Chain A
């Protein structure tokens, strides 16, 4: 089973407003996560900037549109571009979401929740295996936040996650904020979810903030991480060990230093007995 390299500690999502600061000040960061699709282009500034980042930092790729859960077959053009990017970044593992988002070649550009059925688990796992085989890099799938549940579902979300990752023999990108958001929207105990996750498959953890509305919670990535999510994170680390952790901040993005400070809060939850894990320094 894939184990992420030990020197990947706390990472930060690479975002455009921070590029100038990062390239000029060269802050010490263990690794950056990039959104793969932003760099699956033919040329120009995105790739030039990425090459500058790669000269100084380790990068892990995170995708938003592979749509393992869509009935559509994998998009060959997408895979070809993704493989070219994998070779460029030398990402040691690659992540995307356990969701669907396209039908008959039409894309919603959203991370839509799966119907938790055995048919869906089989389809999803087969596509993850195909992608892993073609891309020649370990894949970890991320649990998404959701706001709706389907009548056709035959199991819980965590049972579905287990069914998929066992069939696909892939890793998990465990988003503890997404577990929290979904637990509030669907009235389940987030610790029951966390305790059901096969700890040995967790390759990476995501942290983020969200927005609370009157009747539901929305995963907006525009706030600091809240206390209950940090508690979930602490529990996840207890179960999974010191796993590479990434803070996402995608909207109303504050200064790099503020995002950096927020990410470093994860340090106190990671076991001190594991040197080399924490690379985020002042």
Chain B
């Protein structure tokens, strides 16, 4: 089957697809942000919508008892809940409205700094553009088409919805005698070795042996001992705990 040479060329040019977004600080440090896509954002929005709906319903029931005065208050509160709910939560709660909090998302500036008043107001006022012509059509299309999953409000305000980084759990390594690696390892390879040891429990026994067998020759050990040897090196890399 003949391969399209143009397609092959372009593939060689473009880097592998990844969901990470790289921000370089002035100090030359790369921050890795993980922008959140349409599905979690839609779910977070649905949760927020539900909360707001319930809030308004409760308010109307309570304030309805107060007659016209109550309705006046309710109108003011309706304005606040509609236009300020997201802004206030985002600015005062580290970029997290309740829905985003549940889904593990937060809003930040493009450079990874916490979102401020101007950006938050812009992105939430421009919801109106995203809603056009009905039911967030433009927002959905923009979100699907943008490499960092931004809707139009995000593009205008220079903000990004990212996954929050959670503290990783302390890994448990299989018991093995700590060993020095017989060859130099770069960071990626060290991580892979540690990952092999840490995730051993979630891999099947055969798969573990298969993976370890790849490195049996450079380690100069028989295939059966390779796994144990790799676990030992991982322990050595981890250091005393």
State yes or no: do A and B come from one complex: no
Seen from chain B, the residues whose Cβ lies within 8 Å of a Cβ on chain A are: none
